[in-house]
Structure 1
Amino acid sequence: MTYPTSRDWIFSVKTFAASMLALYIGLKLELPRPYWAMATVYIVSNPFVGATRSKALYRALGTMIGASAAVLFVPPFVESPYLFSAVVALWTGTLLFLAINDRTARSYVFMLAGYTMPLIALPSVMDPAGIFDLAVSRTEEIVLGIVCASVVGGAILPSRLAPTLIERTDAWFRDAAFYAKETLSGRMGGKTISACRQRLAITVNGLEFLLSQLAYDHTRPDVLARAQALRGRMQLLLPIMSAIGDPLAVLLGGKNPPPPGLEPLLADIIKWFDEPLSTRIDESAPADADPQADALRSRIASLQPDPDGLRTWEGALLSSTLWRLKQLVDVWQDCRALRVIITNEQGRWQPRYRHWRLGGTQQYFDRGMLLFSAGSAVLAIFISSSLWIASGWNDGASAVVLAAVACCFFAALDEPAPQVFAFFTYTCLAVVLAGLYLFVVLPTVHDFPMLVIMFAVPFILIGTLIPRPQFNLATMLTAVNTATFISIQGTYDANFLTFMNSNLAGPAGLLFAFVWTRVTRPFGAELAAARLVRSAWRDVVLSASTRPVADHKNLTARMIDRLMQIIPRLAASDDQRHPAIDSFRDLRIAFNALDLRRLRRRLHDADLASVDRVLEGVRAYFQQCVERGVRQPVPASLETSIDLALDRITRRGGAVQSEAEAQVHAAAAQPGQPRPVPVRQIRDALHALVGMRLSLFPETLTPGLPPEPEPAA
């Protein structure tokens, strides 16, 4: 067991001090429910100042919006309880849908506005005339807790988010170095590699939310921009690694010996990946300067086959592999340089890896699943509210409120039921702790200092576990619910029957929410992953079709973002045809199709016809996968089409240099002649076709050599 660190103890003591300050001020101001200020401190507090500030700001805004909605909707609908239940459910569901469509800290505004409205509105149905006073007092109590948490957290030994960002990226760098070593050694399968791939994707996904809080950490805009750029480069590394894996498996594991110089190059790249990360900037050189990377790029260029070598499959395969190795070196150098700049908060950066598809910002959301999740929450709130109305239970509003909170908290999860049950479990624990305090401890307390002493030991011990992800939910719920259920007031007034009647409603509502989510959302991550994969197929269809693409950069960003969502949902496996590896191949097919579409304008007519057949075959195949809902066997005709296109392009690669020279002379003599096709364009088309061939047919990675070109007439 790992004991709490000094940072955990400092956070816990600070949070407890802020909660006691909020409770003291609330009692002095004679607020109706001062314990809400205490509970709010535990809700918004975070070990890092930036996270606390962002959560505090968004909670204040969400509370004000939800309270305003309660004031707006209670008077006209209170006489129609079932209609009122529908209004509450629709309000919460709509705001929940907006919240789960935003993966930044800003989503907290919508989440809070969604469930604050029933939190204030439902208990007021027995006294609708007092809804305005209730909304104002609840807002005051929550804002008081927010202010105390922010002031104490920022004034006393504040912790910044930036060091945590570096810590998380350092873990990613270690995993990336291991993944590179395995991939560049020709190993793609295995549970260890698959688990590493999952960790890489999870780290990248987690940084998205962290970076949205970094702006509240007094981080300079240029450093924040560099952090965003680092995450973007981290996203690119996995697809590039995957693109290298298949050709290396052929070059290193085939019957023929590897090309001369390739294995030493790979060994040196692995060694470079394993080098310790730099932490200092050399003032005499740019932050992105790396002589080793420059040397590796020079060696990659020296191994490139000449135009005649491109006439063979081995030459085309080697050229494609070296091209992607250069991309890998560029991206890794960018990652290392950006980390140094973020660590030192200074330095200039010029990106090494550039591509015409980079620069998009679009994210992928499975709107159907998100709408279903929000709709499930709407029905849960409406049905639980209807049951409360039919039962006539005066204190049953708490059941509906906690059911709404649970449905909102975990709506974005693929499997919310286990977390809802954990919510139920720790709420029951909080009821027990609150009962012990209320009927055993508090009768002996006669002043506020004694109250602080009685609260100190359990709340500080619980607080040390809040910063740990594995304990965060349990400890935060225990602290918040215990503070709420004790219901500290200015004078001691406890009745056991009243306590049980009011505080058993919450667990009853959570038990209903658990049963409801278990029944309505039993699908798990498998369904979510399958839907993501089918959506990826639709984007492959778009990429290979003749339909116009509105924005190639945003299409690329959306496809990569979706891939980062697929990988964590798939269990680690040693199968080389695992869905995660196939999803990487689908992404590469889409990218290669986009490259071929872009190059069509620069190809000769004969080459263009063969490329178009490939694109049409890819489009038709993935359209069939979409229509049938499962991956289909790739038709042999598509393999033939790709091999014929490779034949045309490899012939062109072998003859292009002399052809280009002849066309240059002809163009000088006759300005009306068509422009020659550059060698780079031929190589790009060749690389796209090789990548598509390997991605679609990884089991048959050695196609027949293209026939020798016929002698010129």
Structure 2
Amino acid sequence: MTLPPARDWLFSLKTFTASMLALYIALRLELPRPYWAMATVYIVSNPFVGATRSKALYRALGTMLGASAAVLFVPPFVESPYLFSFVVALWTGTLLYLAISDRTARAYVFMLAGYTLPLIALPAVTNPTGIFDLAITRTEEILLGIVCASVVGGAVFPNRLAPSLVERTDVWFRDAAFYVKETLSGRIAGQAISASRQRLAATVNQLEFLLSQLAYDHTRPDILARAHAMRGRMQLLLPIVSALADPLTALLGGANARPEGLAALLADVVKWFDAPLDASNANDEAEREADILRGRIAALEPQTAELATWEGALLSNALWRLRQVIDVWQDCRALRMLIAREAGVWRPRFRHWRLGGSARYFDRGMLVFSAGSAVAAIFVASSIWISSGWQDGAAAVSLAAVACCFFAALDEPAPQVFAFFVWTCASVVLAGLYLFVILPNVHDFAMLVVMFSVPFLIIGTLIPRPQFNLATMLVAVNTASFISIQSAYEANFLTFINSNLAGPAGLLFAFIWTRVTRPFGAELAAARLMRSSWQDVVLSTSPPPHGDLRELAARMLDRLMQLIPRLAATDDNRHPSIEGFRDLRVAFNALDLMRVRRRASDDMSASIDTVLDGVREHFNRCVARRARQPVPESLRAAIDAALAHVSTEASQGAPAVGPLPARQLREAQHALVGMRLSLFPQLSGVSGPARPEATA
């Protein structure tokens, strides 16, 4: 492990300063639990100002909402302990469902409101008359920590989030360049390629949360809009490159001669992707080179008469997709530069009807199950506490609720809950060391700061590192809480053991519970995502189109970005993520055909409808049998017949043929070629549809 850089030491120093300031003020104000103000600083602090402000705001709102619920529920239900336990569990589960249904920073409001109720309400059952004072003081202590963390973080060497956005996108650019270059070189499978595909999807998913915090970073609205536009194009690059892979494989790997000039064009595009991102004139040079590449693509376009052949249709499709890849990459480069420099004018190159959709996919069944599992865990833990008569058992139920909420969105929460248990135990040991060995020798606040400085400053340097974030944040927060610092020193070993072992006991229960109730892991989630994608393919072929086509496309793309990171990297050409891309392409091509058929002739509409009906029937079978089924040969025959029909009209070369412009005829041809390649990839390089003259 490398030593922490200077910025991590600065973050640690700022966080420690804010925590000591919060503790000092809480002690001076004689708040009953001043250590909560100190712990809150470590909960909300982040190396970036925007992230700290957003979390601080949402924690304040969540705390006040949870505290209000405690005041509302404790008096009427405290005399019915089991009913009260059910109310607490139901509240927590409902708010948890809302939290995991929101992938932005705003979810923290619901998450915190959910588990704040048991944190406040359960310890108050022995003294229900004091619930209002307990809720008020708890809110005051947390708000004090929030204010201190926000003021110190924003006033002392503030670290903005926007530069971090550029750093994270640079990681995406490196992976994307590798992925595109491998695809253009004819390599679409392999463990390295699959791993890069997973990283690309994971980065795009992470940016959604990061962009939700960017508005709190004093980022200008135009920069925020450009960041969202960049993420949208980053998300589209993967399926576009995947759509390019199949026609390239057919053209370069088939028995027929390779189109003249295509190999040289692909080699130059690979070089273009290696252009540096940060050189002062790199973007201008990349723009000029992109225009040259587009000109070469146009020069290689097959003649209108050649569009009636399978090879000509393949080449046209490949060149069309290649231009889209260049346009999307150039837009991403330009947007990155504008975000980094916070200046400049952007002229988008890639324009498509699919851009701009905001729909997201949520597996509601899994969300309900996750929230329901937390409800049951809290109720069972409360019942055990009630029946045992353990006076400090409320802490066990509270931490069990926190653990179930923290990791409810994970496919496999048990390992993280166990880590929570381990590091909480470590915090108990560290807190005991302080309470019984160090603090008896502390006589004033200045000495207390000195005694806290060494471990907390070291712990703080590790919080910004993702691999250590959970462990170090838990140690800092729990140690501060377990010491239970008051204005006067008071320590009783038996009281300390009894009260602070309740937390680990609750976490151990949460671990066993999640291990028993959620043993299935990512495999089930991936299978459900895949089946849901088949259902949306059916929707994309159903007349009239289901809802807004842009929103339907956005939902399918979002689901694919969730599916890819859940699939293990392999070197298999039939990797599930590749199959997932093909399903998405079938749906996108179906949507394109639905748009075209509105203005097509009756004969062409009938041939397109036959294709869409076949696709719908095939994916309905997959959904019904809960497994991917072989694609029927009748569907290939229908695609070939429609492609022959469209290709014949497109090859006539007239500006408009019947009611359809030549451009839309070309789009229909691309959609049919893409659908055939997606459904029958094993045949793309060895056979094509019959020539139009052969079907006459």
Matched with 2:608 is: 611
Check conservation: 1:307, 1:654, Cα contact below 8 A. yes
> Which whole-Å CA distance do the structure 2 matches of 1:174 and 1:493 have between them?
56
Matched with 1:196 is: 196
Give the alignment partner of residue 685 of structure 1, picking from 650, 654, 668.
668
1:233-291 C-alpha deviation (Å, 9 max, x unpaired): 10000000000001111111111221011111111111111100146589xxx989811
Matched with 2:36 is: 36
> Which whole-Å CA distance do the structure 2 matches of 1:546 and 1:603 have between them?
15
Matched with 2:114 is: 114
> Which whole-Å CA distance do the structure 2 matches of 1:194 and 1:478 have between them?
36
> Which whole-Å CA distance do the structure 2 matches of 1:708 and 1:143 have between them?
74
Check conservation: 2:186, 2:249, Cα contact below 8 A. yes
Alignment of 1:1-12 (within 5 A): 1-12=1-12
Distance 1:94 1:574, change over 3 A: same
| Secondary structure, aligned partner of 2:232 | helix
1:501-542 C-alpha deviation (Å, 9 max, x unpaired): 000000000000000000000110010011011110000001
> Which whole-Å CA distance do the structure 2 matches of 1:211 and 1:279 have between them?
26
Question: Structure 1: any 5+ residue segments left out of the alignment?
Answer: 664-674
Alpha-carbon distance, 1:46 to partner: 0.4
Check conservation: 1:465, 1:471, Cα contact below 8 A. yes
Check conservation: 1:288, 1:333, Cα contact below 8 A. no
Check conservation: 2:308, 2:691, Cα contact below 8 A. no
Matched with 1:232 is: 232
Matched with 1:456 is: 453
| Secondary structure, aligned partner of 1:709 | helix
Distance 1:287 1:61, change over 3 A: farther
Matched with 1:97 is: 97
| Secondary structure, aligned partner of 2:462 | coil
Check conservation: 1:656, 1:677, Cα contact below 8 A. no
Alpha-carbon distance, 1:612 to partner: 1.2
1:560-589 C-alpha deviation (Å, 9 max, x unpaired): 110000000000011111110000000000
| Amino acid aligned to 2:132 | F
Matched with 2:638 is: 641
Pairwise CA RMSD? 1.5
> Which whole-Å CA distance do the structure 1 matches of 2:630 and 2:456 have between them?
59
Alignment of 1:367-406 (within 5 A): 367-406=364-403
| Amino acid aligned to 1:276 | P
| Amino acid aligned to 2:254 | G
> Which whole-Å CA distance do the structure 2 matches of 1:24 and 1:185 have between them?
63
Distance 1:97 1:685, change over 3 A: same
Check conservation: 2:232, 2:356, Cα contact below 8 A. no
Q: Which runs of 4+ in 1 moved over 3 A?
A: 278-282, 286-289
Tell me, yes or no, if structure 1 residue 128 matches structure 2 residue 128.
yes
1:664-698 C-alpha deviation (Å, 9 max, x unpaired): xxxxxxxxxxx443221221111011000000011
> Which whole-Å CA distance do the structure 1 matches of 2:537 and 2:296 have between them?
34
Matched with 1:482 is: 479
What TM-score does the superposition give when structure 1 sets the normalisation length? 0.96
> Which whole-Å CA distance do the structure 1 matches of 2:694 and 2:433 have between them?
93
Check conservation: 1:646, 1:706, Cα contact below 8 A. no
Matched with 1:253 is: 253
Alignment of 1:485-504 (within 5 A): 485-504=482-501
Check conservation: 1:37, 1:142, Cα contact below 8 A. yes
Check conservation: 1:38, 1:145, Cα contact below 8 A. yes
Matched with 2:61 is: 61
Tell me, yes or no, if structure 1 residue 506 matches structure 2 residue 497.
no
Check conservation: 1:121, 1:131, Cα contact below 8 A. yes
Tell me, yes or no, if structure 1 residue 445 matches structure 2 residue 442.
yes
Alpha-carbon distance, 1:656 to partner: 4.7
1:281-323 C-alpha deviation (Å, 9 max, x unpaired): 89xxx98981111111111111111110001100000001111
> Which whole-Å CA distance do the structure 2 matches of 1:281 and 1:710 have between them?
54
| Secondary structure, aligned partner of 1:590 | helix
Check conservation: 1:287, 1:341, Cα contact below 8 A. no
> Which whole-Å CA distance do the structure 1 matches of 2:450 and 2:436 have between them?
17
| Amino acid aligned to 1:639 | R
> Which whole-Å CA distance do the structure 1 matches of 2:408 and 2:39 have between them?
23
1:59-109 C-alpha deviation (Å, 9 max, x unpaired): 011000000100010000000000000000000000000000110110000
> Which whole-Å CA distance do the structure 2 matches of 1:221 and 1:398 have between them?
44
> Which whole-Å CA distance do the structure 2 matches of 1:445 and 1:157 have between them?
31
Matched with 1:146 is: 146
1:372-414 C-alpha deviation (Å, 9 max, x unpaired): 0000000000110111011111110000000000000000000
Alpha-carbon distance, 1:645 to partner: 1.6
Worse overlay, 214-223 or 700-709? 700-709
1:452-485 C-alpha deviation (Å, 9 max, x unpaired): 1111101111111000000000000001000000
| Amino acid aligned to 1:65 | L
Matched with 2:357 is: 360
Check conservation: 1:19, 1:145, Cα contact below 8 A. yes
Check conservation: 1:60, 1:146, Cα contact below 8 A. yes
Matched with 2:433 is: 436
> Which whole-Å CA distance do the structure 1 matches of 2:276 and 2:180 have between them?
15
Alignment of 1:462-477 (within 5 A): 462-477=459-474
> Which whole-Å CA distance do the structure 1 matches of 2:40 and 2:376 have between them?
28
Matched with 1:697 is: 680
Give the alignment partner of residue 300 of structure 2, picking from 300, 303, 306.
303
Matched with 2:288 is: 291
| Amino acid aligned to 1:698 | P
> Which whole-Å CA distance do the structure 1 matches of 2:518 and 2:14 have between them?
39
Check conservation: 2:183, 2:241, Cα contact below 8 A. yes
Check conservation: 1:399, 1:505, Cα contact below 8 A. yes
> Which whole-Å CA distance do the structure 2 matches of 1:281 and 1:120 have between them?
59
Distance 1:525 1:710, change over 3 A: closer
Question: Structure 2: any 5+ residue segments left out of the alignment?
Answer: none
> Which whole-Å CA distance do the structure 1 matches of 2:41 and 2:122 have between them?
24
> Which whole-Å CA distance do the structure 2 matches of 1:611 and 1:272 have between them?
38
| Secondary structure, aligned partner of 1:92 | helix
Worse overlay, 641-650 or 142-151? 641-650
> Which whole-Å CA distance do the structure 1 matches of 2:137 and 2:155 have between them?
27
Matched with 2:52 is: 52
Alignment of 1:590-669 (within 5 A): 590-657=587-654
1:636-679 C-alpha deviation (Å, 9 max, x unpaired): 1111111122222222222353xx67x7xxxxxxxxxxx44322
Check conservation: 2:600, 2:659, Cα contact below 8 A. no
| Amino acid aligned to 2:618 | Y
Check conservation: 1:96, 1:374, Cα contact below 8 A. yes
Check conservation: 1:11, 1:47, Cα contact below 8 A. yes
> Which whole-Å CA distance do the structure 2 matches of 1:91 and 1:469 have between them?
31
| Amino acid aligned to 1:84 | F
Distance 1:441 1:689, change over 3 A: same
| Secondary structure, aligned partner of 2:24 | helix
| Secondary structure, aligned partner of 2:392 | helix
Check conservation: 2:95, 2:110, Cα contact below 8 A. yes
| Amino acid aligned to 1:124 | A
> Which whole-Å CA distance do the structure 2 matches of 1:144 and 1:676 have between them?
69
Check conservation: 1:280, 1:344, Cα contact below 8 A. no
| Amino acid aligned to 2:668 | A
Matched with 1:241 is: 241
> Which whole-Å CA distance do the structure 2 matches of 1:45 and 1:299 have between them?
52
Check conservation: 1:288, 1:334, Cα contact below 8 A. no
Check conservation: 2:307, 2:313, Cα contact below 8 A. yes
Q: Identity of paired residues, percent?
A: 73
